[in-house]
């Protein structure tokens, strides 16, 4: 299985997605530090939101096979600059979370991830398991 690092702002759904991918019971858990697992690296949102901490994401991305840029379908803005994926020397995928939320704007989240440079984009809901099997299939191919 490919090792995936999850990057996104606070409350984007990184830890919840990690729980869904591991088949665990979903419960809220604030990630306080980088959690390094066998096939997943979960990162605190503050690392993506703060330029002083962002270098840690670059360093940990070297430990992964795939970089996952997460964007909640409920986001009011995108954290990612246009064509940011060219800065990674790993495959970068987009992952839209919270697609089942009543305020979800999946098309807008997809547009932002495409502008960031993501060619592959997975639309997910950790609570009802939408898109989880497709993402797992990609990681295990």
Q: What is the pLDDT of residue 56?
A: 84
Does the pLDDT of residue 89 top 90, yes or no?
A: no
Whether 136 is covered by a domain: the verdict is no
Partner residues linked to 97 by β-bridges: 72
Interstrand relation of 40-42 and 35-36 (parallel, antiparallel or unpaired): antiparallel
Within 8 A by CB and 6+ apart from 4, the residues are 39, 40, 41, 64, 65, 66, 67, 68, 139
**What is the rounded average pLDDT for all residues in the chain?**
92
- Spatial neighbors of 130 by CB under 8 A, at least 6 apart, are 99, 100, 123, 124
123 versus 49: which is more confidently predicted? 123
Q: How far is 126 from 124, CA to CA, in rounded Å? A: 6
Does residue 60 share a domain with residue 27? Answer: yes
pLDDT band per the 50, 70, 90 thresholds, residue 112: very high
Residues 59 and 84 in one domain: no
Containing structural domain, residue 115: 79-120
For 14-43, what is the mean pLDDT? 86
Whole-structure pTM value: 0.93
């Amino acid at each position: 299985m490919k090792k995936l690092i999850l990057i996104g702002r606070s409350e984007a759904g990184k830890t919840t997605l990690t729980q869904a991918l591991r088949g665990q019971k979903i419960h809220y858990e604030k990630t306080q530090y980088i959690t390094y697992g066998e096939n997943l690296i979960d990162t605190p949102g503050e690392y993506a939101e703060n330029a002083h901490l962002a270098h840690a994401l670059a360093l940990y991305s070297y430990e992964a096979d795939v970089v996952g840029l997460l964007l909640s379908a409920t986001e009011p803005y995108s954290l990612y600059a246009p064509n940011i994926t060219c800065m990674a020397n790993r495959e970068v995928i987009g992952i839209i979370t919270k697609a089942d939320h009543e305020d979800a704007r999946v098309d807008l989240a997809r547009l932002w991830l495409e502008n960031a440079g993501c060619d592959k984009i997975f639309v997910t809901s950790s609570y009802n398991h939408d898109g989880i099997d497709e993402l797992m299939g990609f990681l295990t191919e």
